[in-house]
Structure 1
Amino acid sequence: MSFTIRQLQYFVAAAEKGSISRAAQSFNVSQSSVTEAIKDLESDLGVILFDRHSRGLTITHKGHQFLRHATEILSNVADARRAFDQQQDEASGTLHLGVTSLVAGYVLSDILARFRRAYPAVEVTAIEDSGEYLEHLLIGGELDVAVMVVSNLRDRMALQSEILEVSPYRLWLPLGHRLETPDSIALDDISDEPLIMLTLDEIEEATAKLLGALGSRPPVAFRTRSVEAVRSLVATGAGIAILPDLVYRPWSLEGDRIESRDVSGALPVVQVGIVWRKGSAPKQTTLNFINIAKAHRMLRSR
């Protein structure tokens, strides 16, 4: 039996939300419907996609590999449906796009790929820089739109934004770490742990504010602008990390396992969104990009 689009949607939702119950809630269906769909998908593929445990689900290595294919399939299906809803063949023009480093590889790539497929005649130029500089370019009219972290957007009077994704902070641990098994981890539990600090966008600032709530701050073992370096360092036991779930992957490039756990307390979230200038109607290519980004958000939230 071949797998279905519905099975793929349930699988992606379970992988992103980490539990059957939350996946079922997002589709307003019973937990048994999601469970059976995933079991049938595993049977059809001949692989185990999730490890089941009391705290929910952990995606397996094979499941992580299949997740990329499943997401691409669902994206292509959405593109195919939209092709009959819009008159796209003659769409042309230019789009000047900005992106911050953190979201370039985690949010923008899928949106931009869908936009290029939908509007192949549009010439796209893109620049990667800090959020502060992208705001300057947007206000000055040098950029049409940007995909960036909007949690701390500076000039909300001049800029319009729409949130695409909200990502909570989670604790990253190497396999076998002493904090791997507790159901609840408090900030005090990590006060003496060496920390791997990511210095991209406002992540370092937000993490510093978060750790400032501790009586004694964890020692920083390493600072890096590379998410892959964080993964490798955490996986090999060099330290822990507190980062948005947006950039979490369960494996380092070397194939070592990385665990992810919730931390109790009021942790901040990272909001990723699209930003454009207020005060004048966006040109058509900008509106088309915004609509593509919104469609991408709706697909991921299903």
Structure 2
Amino acid sequence: MSEPPAPPRFSLRQLAYFVAIAEAGTLTEAAERLHISQPAVSLALNDLERALKVQLCVRRKAHGVTLTPSGTSLLVRARRLLREAEELEAEASGGGALTGVLSLGCYVTLAPTVLPPLLQGFASLHPEVTVDFAEDTQDVLQRRLLRGELDLAVLYDMDLMPEMERTVLFSVRPHILLPADHPMAGLTEVSLRALEAEPMVLLDAAPSSHHALSLFHRFGVTPRVRHRPTTFETARALIGRGMGYGVLVQRPANDRTYEGMHVVVKEIAEPVREEAVVLAWPRSMRLNRRAQEFVGHCRRNGPAPAS
């Protein structure tokens, strides 16, 4: 008969305190978030380092806490263990109402139209779940997914890492955005080649810029990029003022900018493919119950693209 495995020399509480320290950046801030004393947090960190026989943090009075390479590695696994422990507790108690925090990321241009219906629908089913969401570019969101900082993220199916699993929410075709008084505003569709000599407003938020430029490259057109805004609404504002045209994927229903300028959507004359909007998560990550329920909700009730 084999010997039972020895219990670990550290506790889940110590791991939770370590994660709080890593996320807060200082012991004092971590203590405030945990509603305990700073010495208690410091003691838990010392005990965890002693149990694991490795230094996890470098502590500097004026600069807070910096994770060592061992600490950075542990942070990912600690988050995973804490999620699994929470799931185990929920399953052992018979399930019941879904509670806790779901961490969701969303690509910046998709957030205004995709997040509200998803969050509202999920909240009606699971009112005791808090959904914390972060808006950022796809490269940043994917790194945060792999670090265990996010459970799920709404992204375009562009430049996704091979480590990502995904489920498609909807697809949408790229379009040209013109100021309302543009000479081609009355056309049904506009060719990319017809815009080659005009100034372009290029949304510079990965992967939008790469995607837009690749469309031109595919048809042998070289655009004249004049402005590179990093936000969707700034791009629309510049276009509305007649400072260039844009090639975008997201289609808000509102045809006005913040300043009240009108913009018009025109189909691209060239044969461009639709782009999928997906819900993504790391293949190596076991989804907790909240994330599983959110994925199921999205598959059943995914938002339609704005038009």
Check whether TM > 0.5.
yes
1:255: Cα distance to partner? 2.3
Match of 2:228 among 223, 233, 245: 223
**What does the per-residue CA deviation read over 1:67-126, in whole Å, with 9 as the maximum and x for residues that have no partner?**
xxxxxxxxxxxxxxxxxxxxx982213312222222222212221222223222123333
1:5-154 alignment, distance < 5 Å: 90-154=97-161
- Contact 1:249–1:258 (CA<8 Å) still a contact in 2? no
**What does the per-residue CA deviation read over 1:217-238, in whole Å, with 9 as the maximum and x for residues that have no partner?**
2322211012222222222211
DSSP-derived class of the 1:178 partner: coil
| Inter-partner Cα distance in structure 2 for 1:298 and 1:212 | 31
Q: Report the AA paired with residue 212 of structure 1.
A: H
TM-score (norm 1): 0.62
- Contact 2:118–2:303 (CA<8 Å) still a contact in 1? no
Q: How many residues align?
A: 212
Change in 2 beyond 3 A, CA 1:123/1:187? closer
**What does the per-residue CA deviation read over 1:12-61, in whole Å, with 9 as the maximum and x for residues that have no partner?**
xxxxxxxxxxxxxxxxxxxxxxxxxxxxxxxxxxxxxxxxxxxxxxxxxx
**2:296 is the counterpart of 1:283:** no
Change in 2 beyond 3 A, CA 1:248/1:93? same
**2:302 is the counterpart of 1:297:** yes
**2:158 is the counterpart of 1:162:** no
- Contact 1:175–1:259 (CA<8 Å) still a contact in 2? yes
- In structure 2, list runs of 5 or more residues that go unmatched: 1-94
1:266: Cα distance to partner? 2.6
| Inter-partner Cα distance in structure 2 for 1:149 and 1:124 | 21
Bigger Rg, which one: 2
Matching residue of 1:63 = none
1:208: Cα distance to partner? 1.3
1:202: Cα distance to partner? 0.4
| Inter-partner Cα distance in structure 1 for 2:304 and 2:192 | 34
Identity of aligned residues (%): 22
- In structure 1, list runs of 5 or more residues that go unmatched: 1-87
Change in 2 beyond 3 A, CA 1:184/1:228? closer
| Inter-partner Cα distance in structure 1 for 2:189 and 2:285 | 49
TM-score (norm 2): 0.61
Q: Report the AA paired with residue 131 of structure 1.
A: Q
- Contact 1:101–1:201 (CA<8 Å) still a contact in 2? no
